[in-house]
Chains A and B, each alone.
Chain A
Amino acid sequence: MRRNLLTLSTLILILFLSVLSKNLDPYIYQILVFFGINSILAVSLNLINGFTGQFSIGHAGFMAAGGYFSAALSIYQGEKLLNMLSFLPRDLAQGVIFLAFLIIGGLFAALLGLMIGIPTLRLKGDYLAIATLGFGEIIRVAILNLDVVGGPRGFPGIPKLTDITWVALWAFIAVVVIYRVINSSHGRAIISIREDETASESMGINTTYYKVLAFSIGAFFAGIAGGLFAHYLMMLHPSSFTFMRSVEILLMIVLGGLGSITGSIFGAFVLTVLPEVLRGFAHLRLIIYSLTLIIMMLVRPSGLMGNREISFYRLYKFLRRKGIG
C-alpha cells in the first residue's frame, strides 16, 4: 500500500512538472521529449541486455515496428474512430484513441519480440547479437518495401499527438514496470540467467520462458517509444531506424551501467544532451563525443552506475555517515 502511494505521488509530481515545462523554450522542450523517449528505449533494452544478459542489438527494429504500426493506425483509422467517439469531448476522445494506438503498436512490437525470441534466444553472446542485428535490418528493409507506409519516401501526415506529458507518463510506466519485475522472484529468476544459465536451470527456473518474457517486455516498450516518436515528429522515415540507432541505445545503457535502471536514464540523458552541448564546437563535435565515450570506458568500464541504483535512502545514509564521522 505504501509502495503504491509513493509511486502514485511520484507520478503526479512528474506529470505536474511536465505540464509546467510546456512553457519552456521550444528547443529545450524538444530535448526533454527526446530524453524521455530515449529513457524508455534505454530502460527497456537494459531489461534484455543488462538484467537478462542477452546481448541484443536490434532495438531500433522494435521501435520502428511499434512506431510505424501506431502511425498507420492513426492515419488510416484515426478519423473514423474519432467520429465514433463524438459523444466525448474531442480532446478526451483523441487521448483515448492515441493511448489505444500506442498500446497496440507496443503489443505488435512485443509479438515480433516473441516471434524472434523463441527461435533466437537459444543462441548465446555474439551469435544472438548478430541474429538480433539481422532482425532489426529485416524490419527496416521490410518497411522500405511497404508502400502503404510510404516505403523509401517516408511516412508523412502523422497527427501530432505526443507532448511531454505523454512521454513523461510512458517513461514513468516503463521504469515502474521494469523496476517491479526486477524486484520480485520473477526478476531474480531473470537475473540468475545472466549470472549462470546452467545453474539457473538446475534451480528449477524455466530459462526459455523468462528470456522470452524479458525480450517481449523490452520490445513492448521499444514499440511504445516508437509510437511516441512518430506522433511527435509527424513523419517517419526508415533511415531513422538503422543499425546506428540500435547502437546509440546500447551506448546509453553501457554508459549508464548494465543492470541499473537509474543508470540507463542517466545514460539516456548524457547521450541526448551531449550532442546538443557540443553543437558549438562544430566539426570537433564528433571527435569530442567519441573521445568522451572512449575515456569513459577506460576509466569506468562497468558504466557510470555499475549495477547500482541511485536511491534516496543510500544518499541519506551516506550524508549521515559524513555528518557524524
Chain B
Amino acid sequence: MAILEVKNLSCAFGGLMAVSDLSFEVEKNEILGIIGPNGAGKTTVFNLMTGFYLPIKGSIIFNGKNLLGMKPYQITKLGIARTFQNPRLFKKLTVLENVMIAMHKVYNASLFDTLISNRKYIQQESIQRDKAEEYLDFFGLYKRKDEIAENLPYGEQRKLEIARAMATEPSLLLLDEPAAGMNLNESLELVNLISTIRERFNLTILLIEHHMEVVMNICERIIVLDFGMKIAEGKPEEVKNNPRVIEAYLGKEVKGVIH
C-alpha cells in the first residue's frame, strides 16, 4: 500500500521550473532514495511535501489526506518528519531540550496548568523529560544530554537532528543529505542507524543523498531527478546503468571530436 502519493507536482520560482510534473509513490516501510545532480530540485520536493513551499499544480496525498495548503506544523502532526541539508538544531539549547521541543505535540498540560503548577503540569513535564531521555539513549546521545547542541561534534549533531525528528513520532521520515560532510566510516555507521530506526519504529524513509555508497547500500528503490524532472526510477543496479542517469551526472559523450 502506498503511504505517500505524489502526482503531477510542479513548482516554479519565477520563470524557473524547480520541479515539473513529478509523480511517484512511496510504499509503506520502504527506503526510497532521491538522487540527482546539484540543483535538480530534490530539496524543493521535500519543502513541497512539508508545506514550506506551495506547488503551482499537483497533489501530495499522505495516508489518504491531501497535504496541499497545510502548514508545516500540521504536516508534522500528521506524521511526517524531516531533517535539513544543513543541520538546523536549536544551537544554544541543550541536547535534551532539543528533543523535548520535538515532543511538544503530545504535551498535555495547558497554559493554565503550567501557571498554577499543578500535578498535571509536573506529570507532563516528567513524562516529556523521560521520553526524551529514552530517545537520546536509543541514539547513543544520553551522556551528552546537558551539553549545548552547537558544542557537539558534527557527526553527533547530525545524529541529534535525526533523534529530534524521530521524537515527533513520524511514520514517514525525510532525510536531506544526512551523510553530507561525513567520511566513509561515518556514513557506513549512518547506514546502520537508518536501517535500525526503520526496523525499530516501523518507519518509511525518503532519502536525498549524494554519497553513492549510502544510497546503493540501503535504498530499495531510487528516483533520479534532473532539472526538476524524473529521468529514471528503479532498483539501485538498474538506475546505476541507466544511460540517461550517467548522462545527467557525467554529461553526454560528444561524437566526432578529434582528440
Contact = CB atoms under 8 A, between A and B. Distances in A.
Interface string A179-196: 011011111110110011
Interface stretch (A87-95, A137-145, A202-210, A264-272): A202-210
A317 interface: no
Nearest to A198: B88
Interface in A279-325: 307
B102 A204 contact: yes
Interface in B121-139: 121, 124-125, 128
B180 interface: no
Contacts of B72: 201-202
Given A198-B88, A199-B90, A188 B97 contact: yes
Contacts of A181: 111, 114-115
B57 interface: no
A3 interface: yes
Nearest to A195: B90
A186 B109 CA distance: 9
Given A181-B115, A184-B125, A206 B52 contact: no
Contacts of B92: 195, 307
A162 interface: no
Interface string B64-106: 0000000111001100011010001111110001001111110
A4 interface: yes
A185 B76 contact: no
Contacts of A199: 84, 88-90
Contacts of A4: 116-117
B50 interface: yes
A244 interface: no
A120 interface: no
B100 A202 contact: no
A189 B101 contact: yes
A285 to B, nearest CB: 37
Interface string A250-276: 000000000000000000000000000
A295 B88 CA distance: 34
A203 B76 contact: yes
Contact of A177 (B100, B115, B121): B115
Given A203-B164, A204-B168, A184 B121 contact: yes
B73 A186 contact: no
29 contacts: A4-B116, A180-B117, A181-B114, A184-B109, A185-B101, A185-B103, A185-B124, A185-B128, A188-B97, A189-B101, A189-B104, A191-B90, A192-B90, A192-B101, A195-B92, A196-B89, A198-B52, A198-B84, A198-B88, A199-B84, A199-B89, A199-B90, A202-B73, A203-B76, A204-B73, A204-B102, A204-B105, A205-B73, A213-B111
B201 interface: no
> Which of A188, A199, A201 has the most chain B CB atoms closer than 10 A to its own CB?
A199
A184 B72 CA distance: 22
Given A7-B117, A186-B114, 7 more contacts: A3-B117, A184-B121, A188-B93, A200-B101, A203-B101, A204-B77, A207-B73
Contacts, number: 91
Contact of B114 (A7, A184, A196, A200): A184
B154 interface: no
Nearest to A196: B88
Contacts of B82: 202
A205 B167 CA distance: 13
Interface string B123-162: 0110010000000000000000000000000000000000
Among all A-B residue pairs, the 6 with the closest Cβ atoms = A204-B76, A195-B90, A184-B114, A185-B107, A199-B88, A201-B72
Contacts of A206: 71, 73
B121 to A, nearest CB: 7
Contact of A196 (B90, B97, B128): B90
A195 to B, nearest CB: 4
A203 B124 contact: no
A4 B114 CA distance: 11
A103 B103 CA distance: 34
Given A184-B121, A198-B52, A199-B84, A191 B168 contact: no
